């Protein structure tokens, strides 16, 4: 197969600093303007800054073995390859174009320089040249300029099963009655993932059913009947999906729950209610920690006046509104004689930015990450690896409403983490389908 030239946009290295090693025996060209962008990002206090620094260190490690202008063989261990492997290896180049031929706008200089670099590389090489970028508009511009483009898809996953409905399994009426009596039923040759939610339905009468979860007991897997309180911190499940959600959220043996759903499906409210119930009513965890994506986890909020809480307030309004509603509807404000703000002061509830979570160890807490579909894999991994003993983390999001321009429904952290961990005993996933906010909100989510 003929060797190809891949020209990298900055966002590819920010998405995955090790992407340099993912292109087999093809040559990689990094325009010098990408290095300038990495330099500008290196002091960012968030995840973007860390990834920029990691990408720069990888490039510098390769640079130490030769000249990046002439090209250096790419291999991950930084040792010289045997001669037989050299021919099968790609080279890394830093490319600096000497002329600019396309119009450059004041706001878009870097992207235009990268596009010009790809044009020049294509002109001066017999190999097929492909621009790799996560930026949709750069891909459109590149196509218009006659440059072949490709997204970076190393961490993309098939999301087909992630949005599937809760599975319905038909059993005999006798088996269903046994299930209700014994609270358990064994299945043969099932393709269910662990902790999958299932509706058992009588073959003879579809109106007779039971709600179950596929569990593992002492090495044996079977469907166990779910048991959800009728009232969880003032909230009653309004449909089957919400009952399944509460079942997963209240099970302390499950450490990671991912919930996807349309706007208005109740995923945030249900999860907050479960978190408050576990912390205040059951004392299963010492604290409820709530955060949500502000489009980018590393987004700098330092230019806004006031405390961290005041800076975050515009983004955290949905969380505040839901907490206020739950405290009133459950009667907790009267029971404890406190509002949720008072509980925040006592540090029983903590609402904080994701930016400062790196480096922490968080034991014995119930953590909720809202709008998780806007995080990339590195950001989600950073959050999950902070979890200490007896900590439960819930990732909530709608992968059809992504605001981050550099990720998609198949490459965002919520989708990738769910797909990679979906069949582990400590992990559960659920897709909520039915909207409960209002008929109008459901209509808009489905049709528009």
Residue 438 has pLDDT above 70, yes or no: no
pLDDT at 101: 56
Q: How far is CA 81 from CA 63, 84, 135, 242, 446, in A?
A: 15, 8, 34, 56, 55
Residue 78 has pLDDT above 90, yes or no: no
295 CB-near residues (< 8 Å, 6+ apart): 374, 403, 404
Higher pLDDT, 342 or 214: 214
Rounded to 5 degrees, what are φ and ψ at 208?
A: -95, 125
Residues forming a β-bridge with 94? 30
Higher pLDDT, 106 or 8: 8
Mean pLDDT computed over every residue of the chain: 85
Q: How far apart are CA 367 and CA 374, in angstroms?
A: 17
The answer to whether residues 51 and 18 touch, using CB atoms and an 8 Å cutoff, is no
The answer to whether residues 7 and 133 touch, using CB atoms and an 8 Å cutoff, is no
Q: How far apart are CA 217 and CA 215, in angstroms?
A: 7
Helix (H) or strand (E) holding 183: none
Looking at residues 292-301, what average pLDDT do you find? 55
Longest dimension (CA), the chain: 79
Q: Rank 162-166, 189-193, 212-216, 325-329 by mean pLDDT and report only the highest.
A: 212-216
* 403 band by pLDDT with thresholds 50, 70 and 90: confident
Q: How far apart are CA 140 and CA 184, in angstroms?
A: 54
Q: Rank 90-104, 288-302, 387-401 by mean pLDDT and report only the highest.
A: 387-401
Query: Minimum mean pLDDT among 77-86, 123-132, 296-305: which range?
Result: 77-86
Residue 304 has pLDDT above 60, yes or no: no
What DSSP state is assigned to residue 178? Answer: H
Higher pLDDT, 42 or 309: 42
pLDDT in tens, 245-273: 999 999 999 999 999 998 888 899 999 99
The domain segmentation of the chain, as residue ranges, is 4-150, 229-447
* 310 band by pLDDT with thresholds 50, 70 and 90: low
What DSSP state is assigned to residue 387? Answer: B
* 219 band by pLDDT with thresholds 50, 70 and 90: confident
The CATH H-level superfamily of 229-447 is: P-loop containing nucleotide triphosphate hydrolases (3.40.50.300)
Helix, strand, or coil (residue 247): helix
Query: Minimum mean pLDDT among 28-32, 315-319, 393-397, 409-413: which range?
Result: 315-319
Tokens of 300: 């700098």
pLDDT at 220: 80
Q: How far apart are CA 250 and CA 271, in angstroms?
A: 9
pLDDT at 108: 58
What is the pTM assigned to this prediction? 0.81
Looking at residues 386-408, what average pLDDT do you find? 90
DSSP letters, 94-162, are EE--S---S---TT-HHHHHHHHHHHHHHHT-SSEEEEE-S-HHHHHHHHHTT-EEE---TT----GGG
Higher pLDDT, 285 or 163: 285
User: 199-202, long-range: CB within 8 Å, 24+ apart, which pairs?
Assistant: 199/166, 199/167, 199/168, 199/169, 199/240, 200/169, 200/171, 200/175, 200/176, 201/168, 201/169, 201/170, 201/171, 201/176, 202/170, 202/171, 202/172, 202/173, 202/176
Helix (H) or strand (E) holding 280: none
186 CB-near residues (< 8 Å, 6+ apart): 220, 222, 223
Looking at residues 105-120, what average pLDDT do you find? 81
Helix (H) or strand (E) holding 84: helix 83-86
Higher pLDDT, 335 or 402: 402
Rounded to 5 degrees, what are φ and ψ at 73?
A: -60, 135
Looking at residues 377-401, what average pLDDT do you find? 92
pLDDT at 346: 85
pLDDT in tens, 273-295: 999 999 999 999 999 999 887 65
Looking at residues 158-185, what average pLDDT do you find? 88
Helix (H) or strand (E) holding 171: strand 167-171
Residue % of the chain over a pLDDT of 70? 84
Residue 158 has pLDDT above 70, yes or no: yes
Tokens of 62: 């390769």
Instruction: Name the class of domain 4-150.
Output: alpha beta
Residue % of the chain over a pLDDT of 90? 49
Angle between helices 240-250 and 267-276 (to 10 degrees): 40
89 CB-near residues (< 8 Å, 6+ apart): 25, 73, 74, 75, 81
Rounded to 5 degrees, what are φ and ψ at 225?
A: -70, 135
Angle between helices 32-41 and 47-63 (to 10 degrees): 140
Other Cβ atoms closer than 10 A to 420: 13
Helix, strand, or coil (residue 7): strand
Q: Which residues of 276-306 are buried (b: 16+ CB within 10 A; e: fewer)?
A: bbbbbeeeebebbbbbbbbebbbbebeeeee
Question: Apex CA 393: angle with CA 238 and CA 215, to 5°?
Answer: 70
């Amino acid at each position: 197969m003929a060797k190809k030239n891949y020209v990298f946009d900055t966002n590819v290295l920010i998405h995955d600093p090790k992407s340099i090693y993912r292109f087999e025996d093809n040559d990689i060209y990094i325009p010098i303007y990408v290095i300038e962008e990495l330099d500008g990002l290196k002091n960012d206090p968030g995840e973007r800054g860390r990834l920029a620094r990691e990408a720069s260190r990888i490039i510098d490690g390769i640079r130490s073995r030769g000249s990046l202008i002439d090209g250096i063989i790419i291999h991950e261990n930084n040792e010289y390859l045997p001669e037989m492997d050299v021919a099968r290896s790609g080279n890394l180049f830093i490319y600096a174009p000497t002329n600019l031929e396309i119009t450059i706008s004041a706001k878009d200089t870097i992207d235009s320089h990268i596009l010009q670099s790809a044009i020049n590389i294509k002109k001066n090489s017999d190999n097929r040249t492909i621009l790799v970028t996560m930026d949709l508009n750069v891909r459109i511009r590149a196509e218009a300029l006659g440059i072949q483009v490709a997204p970076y898809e190393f961490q993309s996953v098939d999301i087909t099963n992630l949005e599937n409905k809760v599975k319905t399994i038909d059993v005999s009426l006798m088996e269903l009655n046994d299930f209700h009596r014994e609270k358990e039923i064994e299945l043969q040759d099932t393709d269910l993932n662990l902790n999958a939610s299932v509706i058992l339905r009588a073959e003879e009468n579809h109106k007779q059913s039971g709600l179950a979860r596929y569990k593992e007991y002492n090495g044996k897997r079977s469907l166990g009947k779910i048991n959800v309180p009728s009232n969880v911190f003032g909230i009653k499940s309004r449909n089957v999906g919400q009952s399944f959600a509460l079942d997963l959220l209240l099970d302390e043996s499950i450490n990671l729950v991912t919930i996807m759903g349309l706007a208005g499906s109740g995923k945030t409210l249900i999860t907050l209610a479960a978190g408050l119930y576990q912390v205040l009513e059951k004392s299963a965890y010492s604290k409820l920690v709530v955060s949500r994506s502000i489009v980018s986890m590393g987004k700098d909020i330092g230019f806004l006046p006031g405390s961290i809480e005041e800076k975050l307030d515009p983004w955290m309004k949905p969380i505040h509104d839901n907490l206020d509603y739950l405290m009133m509807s459950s009667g907790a404000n009267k029971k404890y004689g406190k509002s949720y703000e008072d509980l925040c002061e006592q540090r029983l509830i903590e609402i904080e930015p994701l930016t400062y979570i790196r480096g922490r160890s968080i034991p014995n807490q119930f953590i909720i990450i809202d709008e998780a579909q806007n995080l990339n894999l590195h950001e989600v991994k950073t959050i999950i690896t902070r979890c200490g003993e007896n900590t439960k983390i819930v990732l909530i999001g709608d992968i059809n409403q992504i605001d981050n321009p550099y990720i998609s429904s198949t490459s965002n952290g919520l989708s990738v983490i769910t797909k990679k961990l979906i069949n582990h005993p400590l992990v559960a996933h659920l897709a909520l389908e039915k909207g409960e906010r209002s008929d109008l909100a459901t209509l808009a989510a489905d049709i528009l």
